[in-house]
Amino acid sequence: MARLVVLGGGVSGHTAATFAAKWLGSAHEVVVVTPNSKWNWIPSNIWVGVGQMSKEDVTFDLAPVYAKAGINYKQAKAVSINPEGSESLEKPFVTIEYTLEGREGESENVEYDYLINATGPKLNFAATPGLGDANGLGEHTVSVCTADHAVHAASELDKCIEKMKAGERQKFLIGTGHGMCTCQGAAFEYIFNIEHEVKKAGVRDMADIKWISNESFLGDFGIGGLHMKSMGFAVSSKIFAESLFTERNVDWMVGAHVSKVEKGSVDYELLDGSTGTESFDFSMLIPPFAGVGLKAFNKAGDDMTSDLFAPNGFLKVDAKYDAGAYENWKASDWPETYQNPTYENIFACGIAFAPPHPISKPMSSPNGTPITPTPPRTGMPSGIIGKVVAHSVCDKILKGSDAPLHKASMAEMGAACVASAGKGIFSGTAAAMTIYPVVPDFDKYPGTGRDTEYTFGEIGLAGHWIKHILHHLFIYKAKLSPGWTLIPE
């Protein structure tokens, strides 16, 4: 009997674990280690953050789902990996620390034959003074990164709406809280959902709404922007984004590194080197992501974390990490199998794999401050990668260690994305987009880097309907309800 250990139960890890359990059957063991007791459909957190959904609408208990799937579920956080075993344990193992109520702090070594690292990110609030600390979110801003954060954000938003109803103007500042953030899309959704809600509350004229982001241009989204086919033109996402911001009367500031957060204001530095301060009454700033801080030790017990993990804490895979300057970047830099180059039985998927470099062109201020979106690895790509990695591991277990690996490069993979701009069955809108491929390939598609036959976008009620249907569809799938394997990632 072989044992596969999956670290993390988010979109990517959950996909990998559930497909592996289905393909392997009861002859082999799948273990999931995740510190969370609930699964969270994170894309809908923005609706929790404006009070349009509850925490219960976007989460469910993992234990009964894993029991149904025959998965050995350990509610714990991974602390370290010993890929060569140790002097006392022959097989490789992961050291975990339980978070399960009643077993908090209890440590265990979990041996594995194959390991998939899908831990997702650490929300690195501590990277920006005042945004938070090692314990998480600070007191000056809100977040929609977790369901609990979003519940808090909705409550703070309610207070602002009450103040506006009482005649007090409110300033909303939404965007990224550091020069090296990703997930601009989530902030984009949140700012327009706030605009939609304050309009519904009849206080839009009392709200000043502003976007602050590390993108070098509006519509970059961490993927270097995209050109969409529209009315016979290949139109830049910059045009679409600026149009929407103008139409909804939302001001913006881009190329910004938030350097400090205080009560009611942020300090920032721009790409041109200038600095300034922006005030707010309500602010949601996405934190930068980092690896979760897993350590690695060799058989002798020596620290070898830097061999297994990149400096940002994400696991090294089959990517080209020495591509150098932007001019040298190729689509082939991006990983295909997500297998660790040193340990063939270790894989990574979702945010946990170390990308070779950003997708957007790296930029920095004259002071040397890097202000560049880091590459997104969430949503559809993370689900596909999770499934592909599980497929590779299952083949190795069932067909032998020589079985060929399955591939899913983000430079050869498309993505469908729906970004909400306001919720309502007849009044809601969302930007529905497809992009192919996610990572631009300027050799294959000169100019835009993408195939404009398969890259499009439009905003409207239809997009909102799709987003709402996907909410129910993916939760249905994650619960392993009948026919779940028929629903694509």
Give me the residues that bind other proteins (CB under 8 A), please: 204-205, 239, 242-243, 245-249, 251-252, 380, 384, 413-416, 426-427, 429, 432, 434-436, 454, 456, 458-463, 465-466, 488-489
Which residues neighbour 338 within 8 Å (Cβ) at sequence distance 6 or greater?
317, 318, 347, 348, 349, 353, 385, 388, 389, 408
Taking CA atoms, 99 is separated from 58, 104, 457, in Å, by: 21, 5, 42
Q: Given the complex with other proteins, which of 440 and 463 has the nearer CB atom?
A: 463
State the minimum distance, in angstroms, from the CB of residue 470 to other proteins. 10
The dihedral region occupied by 128, where left means phi > 0, alpha psi between -120 and 50, and beta the remainder, is: beta
Rounded-to-integer distance, Cα 138 and Cα 135, Å: 9
Measured in degrees and rounded to the nearest 5, phi and psi for residue 266 equal: -125, 145
Q: Given the complex with other proteins, which of 288 and 414 has the nearer CB atom?
A: 414
Closest CA to 75 of 130, 37, 47, 102: 37
- Element at 159 (helix H, strand E): helix 147-165
State the minimum distance, in angstroms, from the CB of residue 488 to other proteins. 5
Rounded-to-integer distance, Cα 98 and Cα 105, Å: 5
**Residue 9 identity:** G
Q: Given the complex with other proteins, which of 442 and 454 has the nearer CB atom?
A: 454
Q: Given the complex with other proteins, which of 264 and 460 has the nearer CB atom?
A: 460
Q: Given the complex with other proteins, which of 145 and 218 has the nearer CB atom?
A: 218
Q: Given the complex with other proteins, which of 309 and 436 has the nearer CB atom?
A: 436
User: Is the distance from CB of 206 to CB of 170 less than 8 angstroms?
Assistant: yes
Q: Given the complex with other proteins, which of 118 and 244 has the nearer CB atom?
A: 244
State the minimum distance, in angstroms, from the CB of residue 408 to other proteins. 8
Which residues neighbour 161 within 8 Å (Cβ) at sequence distance 6 or greater?
197, 198, 201, 203
Rounded-to-integer distance, Cα 463 and Cα 469, Å: 10
